[in-house]
Chain A
Amino acid sequence: MDRRKSLQTLILGGAAATSGLVFNSCKTENGESVDEVISTSSEKFFGRTPEELDRIEKLNAEQLFNEHEMETIAALSVVILPPKEPHGGPIEAEVPALVEFMGKDIPEMAPTLLGGLMWLDHKSNTEFGTEFKSATLEQKKQICDEICWHDSEKPLSEQPLEIQFFYTMRGLTVTGYYTSKVGIADLGYKGNSPNVWDGVPQDVLDQHGVAYDPEWIAKCVDQSQRNVMAEWDDEGNLLT
């Protein structure tokens, strides 16, 4: 396929036909190359409107946690989800920055986080004579062991602050890790990329004890024909 022509036909009008368009070729079953135009020039944008960008800038200009609190968040996050080779942990995933941002983005979260951090130091000072971040791993775990279980029968808001705090910090740590580049690699998620989807691999079907019904599959898309123009007879039977 003539790539220049494909560009012209796939993209209508002006806005998109600027710089930074690359081709991502997908091989179909019959070996024909299918050119799809995927924009990569947009890395510095992520689809925000000017109003949304303003709000993000405003939040970034504020500071919720002081330096000590940020260090405490970092120290706690690596206890919650210890780093593991080769994909790293919460620090590589920039979890502390996410906690800082979300505490401002969802202001209802801030008192629990701020109060919880104070509780953590108070507890550590009382028990071990040192701030949480400077405590040994064993000491940190001792504190966490007391607050890491919650009563799933009772609303979280009715449980002690330190339990709410740990629950929130665990949520932010795990979500922050698995939404990061390193965490997605650790999870093994393969999506969010252009491809030709042609069903569940046989080994996966086997593992889970299911099979495709041949009658059903016969109606499904034949990916080798995806670029052939659709034509029907008068009864709606697809001819191509």
Chain B
Amino acid sequence: MQIKESSEIFDVIIVGSGAGGGMATKQLADAGLNVAVVEAGPFFDPADPKTMTQLKQPYDSPRRGAGTDRAFGEWDMSWGDWEVEGEPYTHAEGTEFKWWRARMLGGRTNHWGRISLRFGPKDFKGKTRDGHGDDWPIGYEDVKPYYDKLDKLIGVFGTNEGRENDPDGFFLPPPKPRLHELFYINGAKKSNIPVIPGRLSMLTKRINEDRGVCFYCGQCGRSCQIYADFSAGSCLIFPAQKSGGQVKLFVNSMVREVLTNEEGKATGVSYINKEDRKEYKLRGKVVVLAASACSSARILLNSKSKQHPNGLGNSSNLVGRYLHDSTGSSASGVIPGLMNRKTSYNEDGVGGMHVYSPWWGDNSKLNFPRGYHIEVWGGMGQPNYGFGWDPNAMNQYFGLKSGGYGDSLRDDVKKYYGSVIGFGGRGEAIAYKDNYCEIDPTTVDQFGIPVLKFNYKHSEYEVNQAKHMQDTFEEIIHNMGGHYLGEKPGKDKDYGLNKPGEIIHEVGTTRMGDDPKTSVTNKFQQLHDADNVFIVDAGVFVSQADKNCTWTIMALSWRASDYIIEQLKAQNI
């Protein structure tokens, strides 16, 4: 089969259209460069009525929104989840990793929780702080100007609190707490756990003429038709096209590898067009990988050549290494003070927590390094499949029987509606060299591209952190006068610690550093081994922090884009 090659030479080819790729597209196109964006999934616009799930009713669906076809339920706007048909991944024996992939323009930014936290000064200097992991080659001061610009470009609500490691920013005003959140604030205070307004990228106030202001349907996970929440397609790629940028989208295009020349420099990419299942080549002066941490590592490892026998950028043998996801453990409780609620008002709010607890602990007194934050959920949400499944399961906590039938079920549904509050701990795992992904030598996907094999195990630190989360949740539930729902997971269950990958914050596979022997990119996210290849997804993270990674992905992508523009101008690459 002859590989079809286009004659056009792009200034930049960007692989992936999520947070990192979207930001690079916006910055590089705005700078006048001719950009190709190659996305493995189809075109997606949250405002397209045909694909929209926002404001749908459960009864619009024959399965009432059940998660049979989409892991997070029928309305969640992610095309692709832990499973993507025809694209397997494998595991080394005795290890586990769950890999979420979204195949659509905008990638995972169409369905995420939009919790947008800056890393703090301590988060960039982990090794100096406690001896674990490594320091980043950059510090907060390098990223701060980009966080500032990002806040203003994208919009994030929150409040300036003057906390040492949770930096302030340019915030839109947050929504008021909901009823269950007022209970949480009171419960957490009794244990001296701080609670502050959430920091999420939804527009509670206008920031420009192009995007709407939040109308509080609580459905950001469905991607917003008036673009009031942040999705990379609607808030970065469409504006880049609209402002006259030269952006060419290649959708349904699965990148196989980065192509290189005799000097070992990138000349473009090869991809499979999913529609005709043929291989094509695109030529470009610069290649920017933003396919997500593991996908970018996979592309590099599959890009073998005489100059890069180990895979592109892999002279250190570190591509795929230091993979780490946030830790997670969760709990829920039924709160008598929240029972028998009036349903006379709409309580949807924004799609996510209005309040949360940033990390408060003193690690010198704890048996794990780093920390976690607490995410809170609850309230009178939209009924969907599963609602009222076991409507009086809570009866057992009040000395009543569970089960039965008849009118009592109706009463029980109303008695307990909105009375359950839940907590998710999201914490920092230490990056280990021995947690990694590599190419499985015997397995390919439906496009013939070798797939990833994961090797990942939690350490005792993560398990200890999960125990701390569980004890904290239990204490707060008791402070609120409630009952812990179900059985509190013990040591045999690793205290409810989520499997690696399940929190969907995977980072670190192509980490940055000053030394080419111990890192894959330099501090500007440029491959040590090929100066015209950049990585702008979470692969470059040296550590995760107890903060969700998206805001940092975008700040760093913007910073790397500025560097690319500067280097192109200076004709260095």
The segment from A64-72, A118-126, A128-136, A202-210 that touches chain B is A202-210
Dominant SS among interface residues on chain B = loop
CA distance A60 to B62 in the complex (A): 9
Is B69 a contact partner of A199 (Cβ separation < 8 A)? no
**Nearest residue, chain A, Cβ from B355:** A216
In chain B between 76 and 111, which residues have their CB closer than 8 angstroms to a CB of chain A?
77, 79, 85
Q: A187-B417, A221-B204, A237-B160 are in contact. Are A81 and B409 (CB under 8 A)?
A: yes
CA distance A47 to B65 in the complex (A): 11
Chain B: interface size category? 35 or more
The segment from B264-272, B377-385, B420-428, B504-512 that touches chain A is B377-385
Is B47 a contact partner of A16 (Cβ separation < 8 A)? yes
Q: Does A86 contact B (CB under 8 A)?
A: no
Is A191 a contact partner of B160 (Cβ separation < 8 A)? no
Is A227 a contact partner of B64 (Cβ separation < 8 A)? no
Q: Does A20 contact B (CB under 8 A)?
A: yes
Interface flags for A83-101 (1: CB within 8 Å of B; 0: not) read 0100000000010011001
Is B403 a contact partner of A196 (Cβ separation < 8 A)? no
**Nearest residue, chain A, Cβ from B48:** A15
Q: Does A41 contact B (CB under 8 A)?
A: yes
- A189 partner residues in chain B, CB cutoff 8 A: 343, 380, 382-383
Which residue in A20, A148, A220, A240 is a CB contact (below 8 Å) of B176?
Answer: A220
Is A175 a contact partner of B389 (Cβ separation < 8 A)? yes
Is A216 a contact partner of B343 (Cβ separation < 8 A)? no
Q: Does A229 contact B (CB under 8 A)?
A: yes
Is B402 a contact partner of A236 (Cβ separation < 8 A)? no
CA distance A43 to B56 in the complex (A): 8
A-side interface residues, number (CB < 8 Å): 102
Which residue in A55, A60, A211 is a CB contact (below 8 Å) of B69?
Answer: A55
Q: Does A155 contact B (CB under 8 A)?
A: no
Chain A proximity of B81: nearest CB distance (Å): 12
**Nearest residue, chain B, Cβ from A170:** B405
Q: A204-B342, A220-B176 are in contact. Are A84 and B197 (CB under 8 A)?
A: no
**Nearest residue, chain A, Cβ from B79:** A49
Chain B proximity of A38: nearest CB distance (Å): 7
CA distance A37 to B212 in the complex (A): 9
- B65 partner residues in chain A, CB cutoff 8 A: 179
CA distance A111 to B69 in the complex (A): 21
CA distance A18 to B387 in the complex (A): 35
In chain A between 167 and 192, which residues have their CB closer than 8 angstroms to a CB of chain B?
167, 170-171, 174-181, 183-184, 186-192
Is A80 a contact partner of B409 (Cβ separation < 8 A)? yes
Is B179 a contact partner of A200 (Cβ separation < 8 A)? yes
CA distance A148 to B344 in the complex (A): 32
**Nearest residue, chain A, Cβ from B350:** A197
Is B409 a contact partner of A179 (Cβ separation < 8 A)? no
Q: Does A160 contact B (CB under 8 A)?
A: no
Q: A194-B217, A195-B346 are in contact. Are A148 and B63 (CB under 8 A)?
A: no
Q: Does B337 contact A (CB under 8 A)?
A: yes
Is B381 a contact partner of A179 (Cβ separation < 8 A)? no
- B173 partner residues in chain A, CB cutoff 8 A: 219-222, 238
**Nearest residue, chain B, Cβ from A42:** B49
Is B66 a contact partner of A102 (Cβ separation < 8 A)? yes
Question: Can you list 24 A-B contacts (CB < 8 A)?
Answer: A12-B238, A12-B242, A15-B45, A16-B47, A46-B61, A47-B74, A81-B405, A81-B410, A175-B64, A179-B384, A180-B58, A189-B343, A191-B346, A193-B55, A193-B217, A193-B346, A194-B217, A200-B179, A200-B347, A201-B344, A203-B342, A220-B174, A229-B206, A232-B170
Residues of A near any B CB (own CB < 8 A): 9-13, 15-16, 18, 20, 24, 26, 34, 36-39, 41-43, 45-47, 49, 51-52, 55-56, 59-60, 79-82, 84, 94, 97-98, 101-102, 105-106, 144, 148-150, 152, 167, 170-171, 174-181, 183-184, 186-201, 203-205, 207-213, 216-217, 219-222, 225-230, 232, 236-238, 240
Residues of B near any A CB (own CB < 8 A): 45, 47-53, 55-66, 68-69, 74-75, 77, 79, 85, 148, 152, 155, 157, 159-160, 168-179, 182-183, 185-186, 197, 204-213, 215-219, 222, 225-227, 234, 238-239, 241-242, 337-338, 341-350, 380-391, 393, 396, 401-407, 409-410, 413-414, 417
Beyond the given A187-B383, A192-B55, could you list 15 further A-B residue pairs with CB under 8 A, ordered by the A residue number? A15-B47, A36-B226, A98-B64, A101-B62, A102-B63, A152-B396, A174-B388, A175-B64, A178-B388, A187-B414, A200-B176, A201-B345, A208-B179, A219-B159, A221-B174
